[in-house]
Homo-oligomer: A and B are copies of this chain.
Amino acid sequence: MTNKLYDTSLSLLTDLYQVTMAYGYWKTKTAEKEAVFNLYFRKNPFNGGFTIACGLANVIGYIENFSFSKKDLRYLRILTGNDEKPLFEEAFLDYLANLKLTCDIEAIPEGTVVFPNEPLVRVRGPILQCQLLETPLLNLINFESLIATKAARLRLVVENDTLLEFGLRRAQGVDGGMTASRAAYIGGCDATSNVLAGKLYDIPVRGTHAHSWVMSFANEQEAFDAYAEVLPNNVILLVDTYDTLQGVRHAIETGRKLVKRGHKLAGIRLDSGDLAYLSIEARKLLDAAGFQDTAIVASNDLDETIISSLRQQGAKITVWGVGTKLVTAFDQPALGGVYKLAALRHERADQPDNNASAGKPSEEADNETTDGLAHQATGHRVTDHWEYKMKLSEQAIKISTPGIQQVRRFRDERGFMADMIYNLEGMDGSVSKSATMIDPLDFTKRRHFDAKQPHEDLLVPVFRSGKRVYDSPDIHTVRARVQTQLANLHPGVKRFVNPHTYPVGLEKGLHKLKTKLILTLREGQTQD
């Protein structure tokens, strides 16, 4: 991991079935078969209109440190099946001992705005290796993307106010806290209370005192005075231990002493009660006493909805401390990312394959049109080498999309227009061709993009044959990217209530490939 939090090998941080499947591939001599897996999610979290990609830096760290230690193998050796005999042959453990990852990995950089069905990470390489990476990649990308998205939503609500992350004590474990602090900063927080995250990730840290400080003194005034005496350059006084407005008066008293000594009362903090009413009254008291520059900080189970409501009520709060609701993504604590096999190197070019699990696109697939990219998607020779793969489901949303996927984002002068998912093997890589994108919910709705339409391809090379070819930008650059990206999104997409759906579709050739494959698979079922 890039965060140096772990010393143990994390190569066993995976589901057992990845290892049993790896064993299966090894035993059936298909371990080296080249596969392509796409990692994507199906729905934006929080009923929102967008998601922020995050977690790639940790993925890179994970992959760079991937190797099975002697202890890992000792553990695998003792696992048994239902006959109490070992699950794995010794030769397989030797294979794992010598395993070096050789995959090609492409990914969408951290801090990019992404949408359902877009591959955030694409892994291409020996199927055994791809399989072993499924669980850790999902774990790392799902959680950080979830939290970065939550923080980005909070940033949209607080606008130019200060946003602080205070969640460590309620986070889901040590790393739940650490990772959340990183992703929350990237998503738009200004600082964290988590000192270790500050140290390891270079995030600004903030904090002053808790109720216990006040309670440990004879009275509140003494407690405030003592704090200001000791840390005069960091004075934000928590005023609600006993009676909030009385607390504000005590803070003002302390503030006067601070000013005399050439310091300032940076802020007061409200942590309970009616934050709208109390902040308005506190503001009046502070202003009347000449403390117009003293900030009012609020905390207490805040989230987007509560902050939005407080702002609408005219609350005089300019610094928002958000904890539990942010670091656990309380209203949706998991992003449902999946990792699906999308293509296998086709090894039997002379055996036309029309059984239930494979769908090699045939020449006829392209009879309908011959224009543009669609033609390439099936007519190109390279395609013959790949068997496209997908999982069927009764629910359309659960049907995966085949192909070695890339995402092309088109833009105009107002910002992002639409994202087109296409099959790399069906594109020649040049931008000289026009493209047609099919609406995923209504295939008769199409958008045409000519060759001059500005665009960028979102997935960038991260590993080539197991070697890293990408440097993660520093965390502040990633954080800035989130805001630039969001500025390019139509406000309707960023709306919280019934957000506009940003257009994401399949390139026509990929759409046809997918449709053909579904029909082939369904036919396979009925014949079976």
- Whole-angstrom distance from the CB of A64 to the nearest CB of chain B? 15
- Whole-angstrom distance from the CB of A514 to the nearest CB of chain B? 14
A246 and B528 within 8 A (CB)? yes
CA gap between A173 and B334 in the complex, in Å:
10
Tell me which residues from 26 to 81 in chain A have a Cβ below 8 Å from any Cβ of chain B: 27-28, 30, 33, 35, 37, 71-72, 75-76, 79-81
A226 and B266 within 8 A (CB)? no
A199 and B12 within 8 A (CB)? yes
Tell me which residues from 152 to 180 in chain A have a Cβ below 8 Å from any Cβ of chain B: 166, 168-180
A375 part of interface (Cβ distance < 8 Å) = no
Contact status of A246 and B525, CB under 8 A, knowing A17-B208, A215-B357? yes
A13 and B166 within 8 A (CB)? no
B residues within 8 A CB of A219?
Answer: 355-357, 524
A21 part of interface (Cβ distance < 8 Å) = yes
Contact status of A207 and B20, CB under 8 A, knowing A175-B175, A216-B341? yes
B172 and A172 within 8 A (CB)? yes
- Whole-angstrom distance from the CB of A322 to the nearest CB of chain B? 13
CA gap between A200 and B337 in the complex, in Å:
26
A218 and B172 within 8 A (CB)? no
- Whole-angstrom distance from the CB of A271 to the nearest CB of chain B? 10
CA gap between A20 and B53 in the complex, in Å:
34
B residues within 8 A CB of A521?
Answer: 242
Can you tell how many copies of this chain the complex includes? 2
The interface on chain A, measured as residues whose beta carbon lies within 8 A of the other chain's beta carbons, has a size of: 132
- Whole-angstrom distance from the CB of A418 to the nearest CB of chain B? 29
- Whole-angstrom distance from the CB of A105 to the nearest CB of chain B? 17
Which of A8, A136, A140, A232 has its CB near the most chain B CB atoms (within 10 A)?
Answer: A8
Partner of A227, one of B24, B136, B179: B24
B227 and A16 within 8 A (CB)? no
A369 part of interface (Cβ distance < 8 Å) = no
A349-361 vs B, Cβ < 8 Å mask (1 yes, 0 no): 0000101111000
A490 part of interface (Cβ distance < 8 Å) = no
Contact status of A19 and B195, CB under 8 A, knowing A171-B143, A218-B358, A233-B87? yes
- Whole-angstrom distance from the CB of A179 to the nearest CB of chain B? 4
CA gap between A129 and B302 in the complex, in Å:
29
CA gap between A211 and B324 in the complex, in Å:
35
B residues within 8 A CB of A242?
Answer: 356-357, 392, 521, 524-525
8 contacts between A and B (CB under 8 A): A12-B195, A14-B196, A20-B231, A28-B226, A138-B170, A139-B168, A140-B173, A242-B392
